[in-house]
Copies of this chain bind each other. A is one copy, B any other.
């Protein structure tokens, strides 16, 4: 089956309190795009965070001692380091310019996913504003999905994505950080093995593969196209959550 990823053009800049489901439906209508059962809407964390008012002005942040030390080791603003610590369970690596943490949501990423790129809040110097990730991206995805399904009468999936760097390979790739109705991991059957020659189950990172596909269409710079409609996702939709995708620490050989 063909998979089609269509960005929604010409969306307005998102502000705190905005109803993303309404904005999305307006954007779809303006672009003459329909929704049918099993379509998946993919949204960048940035617009979800903005709509949820996750902007923080650094002048309101008082760094503690741990943040001051982390800022020194990483050459980052102590107030940003404070926010990174608040949003994290654990600091994994620190280098000049780089702080890799286990986010409170469970995944591992740089700077706790805090976006300090071209974020504009209300008042203050633009460079003082940063954007935290949504408080609970699974919940955000579920809320947007519920509104969309209620208004359209279709059965949909919603994915909230971010771009993460990775070990071993250069370049960021899109990953899922909030899921509603989209399977995080899909079991596929293959053939094990030299001796046993018995059935082997491969776990496919289906939500992350879709996130990567959508991220490719969205790009990094494009403020104007932070939503993508995916049609033709090859697996049945079902309830799921981010925890499906997080590798438990004791199964991780590279922390």
Contact = CB atoms under 8 A, between A and B. Distances in A.
Interface of A: 1-7, 58, 77, 80, 93, 95, 98, 100, 107-108, 116-118, 126-128, 130, 163, 166-175, 184-186, 188-195, 197, 200, 202-206, 208-210, 212-213, 215-217, 219-221, 232-234, 244-247, 252-255
A204 B172 CA distance: 5
Nearest to A189: B221
Contacts of A2: 4-7, 217
A77 B196 CA distance: 11
Q: How many copies of the shown chain assemble into the complex?
A: 2
Contact of A202 (B172, B185, B193): B172
B170 A58 contact: no
B213 A169 contact: no
18 contacts: A2-B6, A77-B195, A117-B190, A117-B200, A127-B197, A166-B166, A167-B255, A168-B247, A169-B175, A170-B185, A171-B184, A171-B203, A171-B208, A172-B203, A173-B205, A209-B212, A209-B216, A217-B234
Contacts of A166: 166, 205
A170 B203 contact: yes
Nearest to A98: B253
A172 to B, nearest CB: 6
A108 B128 CA distance: 39
A58 B192 CA distance: 15
Q: Please provide the 4 A-B residue pairs with the shortest distance between their CB atoms, ordered closest to farther.
A: A171-B205, A213-B213, A167-B254, A118-B191
A116 B127 CA distance: 53
A166 to B, nearest CB: 7
A184 B206 CA distance: 22
A27 to B, nearest CB: 15
B253 A173 contact: no
Nearest to A33: B2
Contact of A173 (B195, B212, B246): B212
B208 A173 contact: yes
Central interface residue in A3, A107, A174, A221, by most chain B CB within 10 Å: A3
Contacts of A254: 93, 167-168, 254-255
Contacts of A1: 7, 217
